[in-house]
Amino acid sequence: MKQVAIALDQLVNTLFGGWADETISARLYRNKQNSWYWSAWYKTVNKLFFWQTDHCLEAYKSELARTQYPKFYREMKNG
């Protein structure tokens, strides 16, 4: 179910002009300093995930670490 939630999140992000392999939360973290609009959404989403210290930051770190990838791809070396 977690993979389905991530896929839906990425789909919605893409439909609104985001990158295909990025979650909405990671995008909000990445853009939070670009305008009041992004900053307001960043704060709103973090409030929705009140049990996490900074949900959007953690989502961004997860994207960088590729933790949403299957173990096979995370462990795969180039070539």
Predicted pLDDT of residue 69: 82
Predicted pLDDT of residue 51: 97
Predicted pLDDT of residue 73: 83
Predicted pLDDT of residue 11: 97
Predicted pLDDT of residue 35: 95
| Average pLDDT along the chain, 79 residues, taken 10 residues at a time | 91 96 96 96 97 96 87 76
Three-class HEC string of 12-58? HHHHCCCCCCCCHHHHHHHHCCCCHHHHHHHHHHHHHCCCCCCHHHH
Look up the domain containing 18 and give its range. Answer: 2-75
Predicted pLDDT of residue 79: 58
Predicted pLDDT of residue 78: 66
The owner of tokens 């994207």 is 63
Q: Number of structural domains, the chain?
A: 1
Gyration radius (Cα) of the chain, Å: 13
